[in-house]
Amino acid sequence: MALADGRFEPPVPVRTVSPNFPNDLHDKGISGVVMVNVLIDRQGNPQDLKVARSSNSEFEEPALEALRKWKFKPAERDGSVVALRVVIPIRFSAED
């Protein structure tokens, strides 16, 4: 459904926390990504986090732990704050 009449602004991260990279994967040079399905509530807090998919299951819990600490400017629809479910990629790069 298009919002032709209204204005929509997605949630925007205002505080992010980097995930802890599992040492054994980092030492082996293994990178990856975890796609997390998350509800950003009307206060900008991440709620109901679920892994949508991941390149390696060992990255999943560190990704969830980090994302729980994030803070967002909540989504707005027609000037009103709304909760919104989004998918956020959490990347792990062994080259950093």
**pLDDT at residue number 2:** 47
- pLDDT exceeds 70 at position 1: no
pLDDT band for position 3 (50/70/90)?
Answer: very low
- Do residues 3 and 19 lie in contact, with contact meaning Cβ atoms separated by under 8 Å? no
Q: What is the CATH number of the domain that holds 53?
A: 3.30.2420.10
- Boundaries of domain holding 77: 8-92
Residue 1 within any structural domain of the chain: no
Q: If you search the block for the tokens 């030492």, which residue do you land on?
A: 27
Residue pLDDT, tens place only, 48-85:
999 999 999 999 999 999 999 999 999 999 989 999 99
